[in-house]
Amino acid sequence: MDQQPQLYLIAPAMMAASELGPRLISVLDAHPVACLRLPGAGDEAELGRIADIARDIAHDRDVAVVITDHVALAQRHGLDGVHLSQGSRGVRHARKELGADAIVGAYCGASRHDGMNAGEAGADYVSFGPCGTTALAHGEPAPLDLFQWWSEVIEVPVVAEGALDAALIRALWPLADFIAIGPEIWSASDPAEALSALWP
């Protein structure tokens, strides 16, 4: 892989739509982001408000927006697609509902097999993680050699996410098409500055 990975931003969960807007603007204006992922769980009315605010901010900056696991909300609020958190399950259904031009991504933990199934089902990208150790994760972290193998063998773009630090990001730099950052920065008083400290 010759080019550097693109930045994939994960919006904070459990943040009110009114708070989210200014924080998103500060990060998106400071860093070139390829894709923004919104949370898909919670009160549907609030998720809709978040979707509308985030879509307008992101689309003004040519940033694609996907939402986690919520095909209907993606359709209703004019988002660019969905991020499926259960691997290859649901990829074909999401594609059928959203159409050929939508983004359909699949999170596959550390499973090469699930990643390949998602790619065969038509996923636009496969996401592996967490890359670092975290008490929140189930199972083992996704190892660097998984990304190495994927980048050499599979053409479907790969996203690295979860428990990232500056050293891990540097190690993943030549192996991943996208590096997803979100929880790593949102607790900082200045998320844009926190991202600058992580991004090579």
Which tokens go with 139?
């199972």
The reply to whether 144 falls in a domain is yes
- Rounded to whole angstroms, how far apart are CA atoms 100 and 114? 21
CATH number at residue 143: 3.20.20.70
- Rounded to whole angstroms, how far apart are CA atoms 12 and 187? 9
The reply to whether 51 falls in a domain is yes
The secondary structure of 14-82 as a DSSP string is T--HHHHHHHHHHHHHHS-EEEEEE---S-HHHHHHHHHHHHHHHHHTT-EEEEES-HHHHHHTT-SEE
Inform me whether the pLDDT recorded for 4 exceeds 90: yes
Give percent of the chain above pLDDT 90. 92
Total tally of structural domains belonging to the chain:
1
Inform me whether the pLDDT recorded for 1 exceeds 60: no
Range of the domain at 92: 6-198
The reply to whether 58 falls in a domain is yes
- pLDDT for the residue 3: 78
The reply to whether 128 falls in a domain is yes
Inform me whether the pLDDT recorded for 137 exceeds 70: no
Task: Work out the pLDDT band at 133, boundaries 50, 70, 90.
Answer: confident
pTM of the model: 0.96
- pLDDT for the residue 140: 84
Q: Pick from 6, 114, 128: which is nearest to 62 by CA? A: 6
Inform me whether the pLDDT recorded for 138 exceeds 70: no
The reply to whether 1 falls in a domain is no
Inform me whether the pLDDT recorded for 139 exceeds 90: no
pLDDT tens readout for residues 168-199: 999 999 999 999 999 999 999 999 999 999 99
Q: What is the dihedral of CA 143, 39, 41, 54, to 10 degrees?
A: -170
Average pLDDT in the chain: 95
Task: Work out the pLDDT band at 104, boundaries 50, 70, 90.
Answer: very high
- pLDDT for the residue 134: 78
The reply to whether 123 falls in a domain is yes
Q: Which residues face 8 on adjacent strands?
A: 35, 180
**Residue 16: how many other CB atoms lie within 10 Å:** 10
Quick one: average pLDDT of 79-96?
97
- pLDDT for the residue 2: 54
